Amino acid sequence: DSHFDQFYLIKYCNFYVGTLSGPWALANLFKKDIILTSTVVFNFPIINPNFINLPKHFYLNEKKLNISEIFDLGLECAWNYRDYEKKNVTLKNNSSDEILKLLNFYLNKKKDFKDFKNYSFYNNEKYKEYLIINKIPIWY
């Protein structure tokens, strides 16, 4: 619960696992490998080549949305849950099994990420090489 503990633990950790909340920025500052889970923001710049992103699951009328559909709905950077409610989109956090699979992916030094270079939404984004979206495991 203390900022000092967070600072100490992140400074001496091998890698950081968490959400896109306050402590990840400290891990980024220390140039730690970062594993983000249950994210909802896809066009957030991260100036760290050593991160992996595992977004929440987005559903519209019980159909899981792909990333292009999320961008088409304008939800690639929606911090307010009312934005999802207005479009009848529900979110589901990553399961513990998915997070465990992600940790195995990271620890086994996998580099199989989804390729977004041919997607119009990706190519239209400024600073695309730093977008959080570009490090999603291929199996997601």
Token look-up 């529900």 returns 90
Q: How confident is the model at residue 124 (pLDDT cuts 50, 70, 90)?
A: confident
Average of pLDDT values for 58-67?
95
Mean pLDDT of the chain: 91
What pLDDT score does 49 carry? 85
Give the C-alpha separation, 18 to 40, whole Å. 13
Amino acid at 131: L
pLDDT of residue 35 exceeding 80 = yes
What pLDDT score does 44 carry? 83
Give the C-alpha separation, 132 to 43, whole Å. 6
Structure tokens at 117: 């270079």
The order of strands in the sheet holding 57-60 is: 63-64, 57-60, 89-92
The total number of residues shown for the chain amounts to: 140
Average of pLDDT values for 8-13?
92
pLDDT of residue 79 exceeding 90 = no
Q: First CA to last CA across the chain, in angstroms?
A: 32
Give the C-alpha separation, 120 to 117, whole Å. 8
